[in-house]
Structure 1
């Protein structure tokens, strides 16, 4: 059973997934910082500093009463849309760079492979017919 577990862990897919999760976590920190530290201040400047997170409806009386915090939900939706847009733009940029690299590889002329097997056989046939 331990050997099966070692074989499972050693498979490429598991390692690729682990690397993807680690890189994803680091990337999440970058995107979150980009949105929180750069994009949200600009949006706050344009909208006059509107903060939806404090919007709520009290469901009872008193300081400890439950509340329906719809403002936090609106803020979460706005943050999601901003993050999704930033990730979309980053993926689009990466794909453009990848496509440019692929186009350069395809544009490079391949070395002349020489005559094909069919061409060689036709030459041999023609040479035998002439004799």
Structure 2
């Protein structure tokens, strides 16, 4: 009996894994990981240097609080000394990464929705020929002789 449960579990797990939405989710996670590296490069290599130039050379990554009471010139120096630090500048960079990724994804989804709407308007379906059941008032196919909802005979 325990063997039957095991086979049932394995079969159930295989069915779950092979569903289309699980596979789509896996592909989405992989693409999201690749997309994240692009956004990180955009933030670290393009946007943060521009912000640094505009603000007079501010480097957010060197904004930290030393928790051991010592003063360090840079975050690297604090790490080399083994001091505990609260890295709020790195947090600011990560928040900027998140906001930029959210904006890019929003613009991408918005563009895809507009494209979908344009294509959807071109392919408008002809209305299906229906009639109303005189008994339950449900829409049924015009060729139906029996209502699928109330099972009444329809002329």
Q: TM over 0.5: same fold?
A: yes
The question of 1:77 aligning with 2:91 is answered: yes
Q: Normalized against structure 1, the TM-score is what?
A: 0.66
The question of 1:6 aligning with 2:3 is answered: no
Partner-residue secondary structure (3-state), 2:43: helix
Q: Deviations for 1:24-68, whole angstroms, at most 9, x for unmatched residues?
A: 2111111111111111110111122223346524347xx997634
**Correspondent of 1:22 among 30, 54, 77:** 30
Q: Which structure: greater helix fraction? A: 1
Q: Larger relative contact order (C-alpha < 8 A, sep ≥ 6)?
A: 1
Alpha-carbon contact 1:59-1:66 (below 8 Å) kept? no
Alpha-carbon contact 1:9-1:15 (below 8 Å) kept? yes
Mind listing any 5+ residue stretches in structure 2 that lack a counterpart?
Answer: 1-5, 71-77, 132-141, 144-155
The residue number in structure 2 matching 1:98 is: 112
Alpha-carbon contact 1:58-1:67 (below 8 Å) kept? yes
Superposed displacement of residue 78, structure 1 = 1.0
Aligned length: 116
Mind listing any 5+ residue stretches in structure 1 that lack a counterpart?
Answer: 122-131
Q: CA RMSD in A?
A: 3.3
Matches within 5 A, 1:20-99: 20-51=28-59, 52-53=62-63, 55-59=65-69, 67-70=83-86, 73-99=87-113
Q: In 1, distance between residues paired with 2:31 and 2:89?
A: 26
